[in-house]
Amino acid sequence: MLFDIRVKESLRDLFDRDDEIEKLRASLNEPLVVVFGLRRVGKSSLIKAVLNEYAPSNYFYIDLRRFEESGYVSYRDFVKALEDSINARVRSRRLLSMLSRIRGVSISGFRVSFSWGRDRVMLADILDSINDWAGDEGLRAIIVLDEAQELVKARGFNVLPVLAYAYDNLRNLTFIITGSEFRVFTKFLKLNDPESPLFGRAYVSITLKPFNEEQAVEFLRRGFKEHGIEFDRAEEVYEELGGNPGWLTLFGYRALRMGFNEALNETRREAVDLIRREICNFINEGRHLAERRYLRILEVCVSGCRWSTIKMALEAMEGRELNNSIVDSLIKALLDYSLLIKEGNTYVLPDKLMRDAVIGLRCFVNAVNSDNV
């Protein structure tokens, strides 16, 4: 059902995305795949649907979104998340028996338990065991780190050296990593940073974009049709919400339960709230000194803008000249975080609803506030 608001688990329920499905399927033997995309665009759905179809018994899904609200991620937190991901899927006695030989692992029935205290389990040992098990079974074990950028908040441990070790040595493992666009790339994996343990490693990149108008209209029509409804206001919905599948799904779900206008307004409000949280997360990540500057750039770019317009707007706001390199670095940070997109010589906002999110927005540390909410 297209208007099911949970993560889609089956290819049957996934609308379109044929190219991305094929690319992911074809990459399941590669060591590293990175799936980029805005919030709610369908990253988790793509991965789960493809893995349930093509690798149902050999993937482990670690959902790091659970740490979104936490200030930091401890070794214990991460090990527990890994433990949950194995317990959710493990059906193999052989895997359990291999894991049981590692220090810091205990097995009870079909459940594995990792210790994080003095006798702490080592991540590399767990990966070694999974790799050996996959080799024995003639399989590829796939480990998904969903929303990996949360691991930037890791305290007292670092996953990257272990990932680099696995990349170089464990031939039966594939890592699929997701995150909101370049945030996971620049802040977590840092594949282009010579200081990063993963520097220079090749990877497959898959970017999920919002639907275009034609796709969005078809998505809505088909979704309503599943409920026996002929829907002829899809263009209006696209006009308001844009093409992010998450918002379209939520709208469809709501419209089946309430009136058209109410469904549209509620979805819009929710989407704008989430986008505001994303913007404020970015600003609060140690950059609040530049808050006014970032928000000013986003405001100036709601209908598209040039580099020179940005510079002029910032100078007008501050009443002084600004160095070009400062303007460049502000823009680059917004691009890296996917809050801004470059199209030719113009900068635009990536999501239609961002316009509403940006106007009147003020971010305070760990809070979103605005007169316009």
Ligand X SMILES: Nc1ncnc2c1ncn2[C@@H]1O[C@H](COP(=O)(O)OP(=O)(O)OP(=O)(O)O)[C@@H](O)[C@H]1O
Q: Footprint of ligand X on this chain (CB under 6 A)?
A: 2, 4-5, 7-8, 14-17, 37, 39-45, 245-246, 249
Give the 3-state secondary structure of 77-115.
Answer: HHHHHHHHHHHHHCCCHHHHHHHHCCCCEEEECCEEEEC
Q: How many residues bind Mg ion (CB under 5 A)?
A: 1
Query: Which DSSP state fits 1?
Result: -
Within 10 angstroms of residue 249's Cβ, the number of other Cβ atoms is: 25
Residue 186 touches Mg ion, criterion: CB under 5 A: no
Query: Which DSSP state fits 149?
Result: G
CB closer to ligand X out of 167 and 175? 175
Cα 338 from chain centroid? 11
Please give the C-alpha separations between residue 199 and each of 171, 206, 344, in angstroms, as whole numbers.
18, 19, 29
Residue 373 structure tokens: 């909410």
- Closest approach of ligand X to the CB of residue 20, in Å: 9
* Cα(117)–Cα(76) distance, integer angstroms: 8
**Which residues ranging from 277 to 306 are in contact with Mg ion (CB under 5 A)?**
none
CB closer to Mg ion out of 27 and 44? 44
- Closest approach of Mg ion to the CB of residue 65, in Å: 6
- Closest approach of Mg ion to the CB of residue 47, in Å: 8
CB closer to ligand X out of 20 and 128? 20
CB closer to Mg ion out of 44 and 186? 44
Residue 45 partner contact from Mg ion, ligand X, none using kind-dependent CB cut-offs of 5 to 8 Å: ligand X
- Closest approach of Mg ion to the CB of residue 64, in Å: 10
Long-range contacts of 312-319 (CB under 8 A, 24+ apart): 317/292, 317/293
Q: What is the CA radius of gyration of the chain?
A: 22
Which position's Cβ is nearest ligand X? Answer: 42
- Closest approach of Mg ion to the CB of residue 44, in Å: 3
One-letter amino acid at 82 equals L
CB closer to ligand X out of 1 and 191? 1
Q: Which residues contact 173 (CB under 8 A, 6 or more apart)?
A: 31, 127, 130, 131, 134, 140, 141, 142, 143, 166
- Closest approach of ligand X to the CB of residue 276, in Å: 15
Residue 267 touches Mg ion, criterion: CB under 5 A: no
Residue 44 touches Mg ion, criterion: CB under 5 A: yes
Please give the C-alpha separations between residue 340 and each of 118, 332, 357, in angstroms, as whole numbers.
45, 9, 13
Give the binding range for Mg ion (CB under 5 A) out of 40-48, 160-168, 189-197, 328-336: 40-48
Residue 151 structure tokens: 């691991």
Residue 223 partner contact from ligand X, Mg ion, none using kind-dependent CB cut-offs of 5 to 8 Å: none
Residue 249 touches Mg ion, criterion: CB under 5 A: no
CB closer to Mg ion out of 3 and 224? 3
Residue 373 partner contact from Mg ion, ligand X, none using kind-dependent CB cut-offs of 5 to 8 Å: none
- Closest approach of Mg ion to the CB of residue 43, in Å: 5
- Closest approach of ligand X to the CB of residue 180, in Å: 6
Residue 29 structure tokens: 């033997």
Residue 8 partner contact from Mg ion, ligand X, none using kind-dependent CB cut-offs of 5 to 8 Å: ligand X
* Cα(41)–Cα(26) distance, integer angstroms: 21
| Footprint of Mg ion (CB under 5 A) | 44
